[in-house]
Amino acid sequence: MKRMLIIGPPGSGKGTQAARISESLGVVAISTGDIFRANVKEMTPLGVEAKKYIDAGNFVPDEVTNRMVRDRLTQDDVADGFLLDGYPRTSAQVDELDDILAEGGHELDAVLQLTADDDELVARLLKRAEIEGREDDNEEVIRHRLGLYKEQTQVVVDRYLERGIVRPVDGLGDVDEVTERVLGALETPAK
């Protein structure tokens, strides 16, 4: 497993688990959220554009996100594999990722799907917002993002289920336990 993605609703632990998987498997973890935040902080043209959507609790449009991911996946450090966190989120992004990988003669090996209860996710994200001072994480925005996730990204999961590469993992519990479940899921056949 060298080319993977981790998918799940906001607050399901994708970032934490991506870092642990990256270290354990020796692949680069690529978070679109981190790329967006860096661009916003640096006030790049992309960051200014992305901030409008992020502040409203909406996803950044495919065209902007696709350009960032395409650029990132052409960099040398991903030659031996990667774990994408936060992309693809739409059917169009699945197509774009397929095109990007096909250009290099590759395809996606696995999709780790973290699952968690909505109320637990809201509580986690409100706590994170308080700790990190994230202005974009209030309950209304969080619930809006969870709704968008369900509405827009279920088709992504469905498309990867058709390919037989989805590995569902319960994202609730101790971080170490979740990591064990994730790594175990990579060793078992997909569902």
Question: Is there a binding annotation on residue 15?
Answer: yes
Of 2, 134, 143, 159, the active-site residue reads 134
Question: Is there a binding annotation on residue 8?
Answer: no
Please say if 145 is a catalytic residue: yes
Question: Is there a binding annotation on residue 37?
Answer: yes
Of 3, 20, 51, 89, the active-site residue reads 89
Please say if 89 is a catalytic residue: yes
Of 3, 72, 124, 145, the active-site residue reads 145
Of 2, 70, 128, 159, the active-site residue reads 128
Question: Is there a binding annotation on residue 58?
Answer: yes
Q: Which residues pair with 166 in a beta bridge?
A: 111
Burial 52-75 (b: 16+ CB within 10 A, else e): eebeebebbebebbbebbeebbee
Q: What is the DSSP letter of 136?
A: T
Question: Is there a binding annotation on residue 184?
Answer: no
Please say if 14 is a catalytic residue: yes
Conformational region of residue 88, where left means phi above 0, alpha means psi within -120 to 50, and beta covers everything else = beta
d(CA 113, CA 80): 22
Binding residue ranges for AMP: 32, 37, 58-60, 86-89, 93, 134, 145
Catalytically active residues are 14, 89, 128, 134, 145
Binding residue ranges: 11-16, 32, 37, 58-60, 86-89, 93, 128, 134, 145, 173
